[in-house]
Structure 1
């Protein structure tokens, strides 16, 4: 049995803006892992008349080749590659979208505190719109920022520069939570003052080591504000 990590201690008096990733931070990454590693390969293989093993053998190298670039997160790109309508496919299984435990309570607490609450995601609009509609979260955020609007993923310093230009904020007084180490490093390098790593983005899997970042298994561990 895994022992839960101790709750991080944050200086909430020094935080004005709360910037949150979506998949693996607010929402359970189990959906994405199922979608990309099971459902898409299954439908792709059926369409191509291949075995599942052969379909995966075609897709996995293409996934890895552009990992952490903007096309990696783009449903338009993968619809072209696979010949599948990926937004429609997400709609088919949208009932699988669920929260990571404690996420909703955390969001409500941030709103009640009067702090700015922004969704900052690499997800393509086809993805975040379906998911937020499913869990009825869209009105919760003061701003919804997708890296596709800026032409650079969160791993890229240009994303943070564009975010600051369009939505001015004090990075030193911002909290940012994400489950991706390359993204967390980019946020820290930009000067985000409070960076928290989500160590258990998929509820079906054990927590992951998150290097030298403050880590939490879920946003609920950051309460109380």
Structure 2
């Protein structure tokens, strides 16, 4: 079920005493989405045009139709699928551009505070395992998490209700005492439908894009807006 779009509702506070589990997305939540948007919006079409000897415009046209067909499916996040479909090693191209991977503001500090709290902190991402490996080589994420889960382990993306069922089976949590933060509203919709009570979105997942002015979920610009009540560093 989708909620109505409305002007961004700020999050005045999180009552941390009522939260047992914190589920966090990676791209666009902890890491700046500008890397991924540039990779798929510029680097992939440029490389595709070069190896197939076509114009950038023709490459973009071909790719847009393929991207649209896979949006919201696990293939959209699968580097193996894209390498086979596009005819080149997508993981290798991503690795050569990995210097562009960066934290979102306040994200690392927020993770350190969560790690020192009573909460069970879990990274849940649609990123392909190879993408996850590349990004973890650039930013120190894993020390702050109790578990790291890629949706590829379950064979379905976070947009699918089956993901949440399998997450519950493998890492039990109480939906009414769980906070989930993700920049993707379709993913938040799936979490909402599953019964997760505390949901927060991001107003500016990509630092090169202006902040959103409307969302379907309460949204924050930076994590310091909700860190009050967590252990001070």
Query: What TM-score range do you get, normalising by the shorter chain?
Result: over 0.9
Verify the 8 A CA contact 1:106 1:222 in the aligned structure 2.
no
Aligned to 1:36: 40
Aligned residues: 222
SS in 1 for 2:206: coil
Aligned to 2:3: none
Indicate whether 1:50 and 2:82 are aligned: no
SS in 2 for 1:197: strand
For the residues of structure 2 that align with 1:177 and 1:125, how far apart are their CA atoms?
A: 21
Indicate whether 1:178 and 2:182 are aligned: yes
Aligned to 1:24: 28
For the residues of structure 1 that align with 2:173 and 2:72, how far apart are their CA atoms?
A: 25
C-alpha change, 1:23 and 1:193, in structure 2 (3 Å) is: same
Q: Alignment RMSD, CA only?
A: 1.4
TM-score (norm 1): 0.94
Indicate whether 1:101 and 2:105 are aligned: yes
2:141 maps to which of 116, 137, 147: 137
Indicate whether 1:120 and 2:116 are aligned: no
Verify the 8 A CA contact 2:23 2:180 in the aligned structure 1.
yes
Q: CA deviation at 1:69?
A: 0.8
For the residues of structure 1 that align with 2:11 and 2:19, how far apart are their CA atoms?
A: 17
Q: Please say which of residues 95-104 and 208-217 is displaced more in the overlay.
A: 208-217
C-alpha change, 1:209 and 1:86, in structure 2 (3 Å) is: same
**Runs of 5+ in structure 1 lacking a partner?**
none
Verify the 8 A CA contact 1:197 1:210 in the aligned structure 2.
no
Verify the 8 A CA contact 2:10 2:218 in the aligned structure 1.
no
**Runs of 5+ in structure 2 lacking a partner?**
1-7
Indicate whether 1:222 and 2:212 are aligned: no
C-alpha change, 1:127 and 1:96, in structure 2 (3 Å) is: same
TM-score (norm 2): 0.91
For the residues of structure 2 that align with 1:223 and 1:215, how far apart are their CA atoms?
A: 14
Verify the 8 A CA contact 1:8 1:214 in the aligned structure 2.
no
C-alpha change, 1:6 and 1:196, in structure 2 (3 Å) is: closer
Deviations 1:143-162 (A, max 9, x none): 11111110111111100000
For the residues of structure 1 that align with 2:175 and 2:11, how far apart are their CA atoms?
A: 23
Verify the 8 A CA contact 2:9 2:218 in the aligned structure 1.
no
